[in-house]
């Protein structure tokens, strides 16, 4: 697993906490910073997933079609969630 996946997810969590604290204390800046961290973290995690896919393809060219379909479904769900987060912040 690429380290960017882990670091990205950590940024998403940190952003969610920052955004929530900003809402509680009424700080618009903290809410914006939290949303930014969530977006950046999701992008970093996606980059790590792409790197994993590329690396896996290079190391295992005989990967089954079923594995590829499962990975594609996961990626579709991830990008759908990312899109929903962006719409939610708008």
The answer to whether 4 touches 34, Cβ cutoff 8 Å, is: no
In the chain, where are the structural domains located? Answer: 3-89
Are 18 and 33 spatial neighbours (Cβ–Cβ below 8 Å)? yes
CA distance 62 to 83: 32
Res. 67: pLDDT tops 60: yes
Kindly tell me if the per-residue pLDDT of 27 is higher than 90. Answer: yes
* Sequence-distant (≥ 6) Cβ neighbours of residue 86 within 8 angstroms: 39
Tell me the pLDDT tens digit for each residue of 45-66: 999 988 888 776 556 656 666 7
């Amino acid at each position: 697993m690429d380290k960017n996946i882990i670091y990205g997810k950590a940024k998403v969590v940190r952003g969610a906490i920052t955004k929530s604290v900003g809402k509680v204390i009424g700080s618009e800046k903290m809410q914006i910073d939290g949303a930014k961290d969530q977006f950046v973290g999701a992008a970093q995690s996606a980059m790590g997933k792409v790197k994993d896919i590329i690396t896996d393809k290079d190391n295992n060219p005989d990967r089954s079609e079923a594995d590829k379909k499962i990975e594609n479904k996961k990626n579709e769900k991830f990008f759908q969630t990312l899109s929903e987060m962006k719409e939610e912040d708008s």
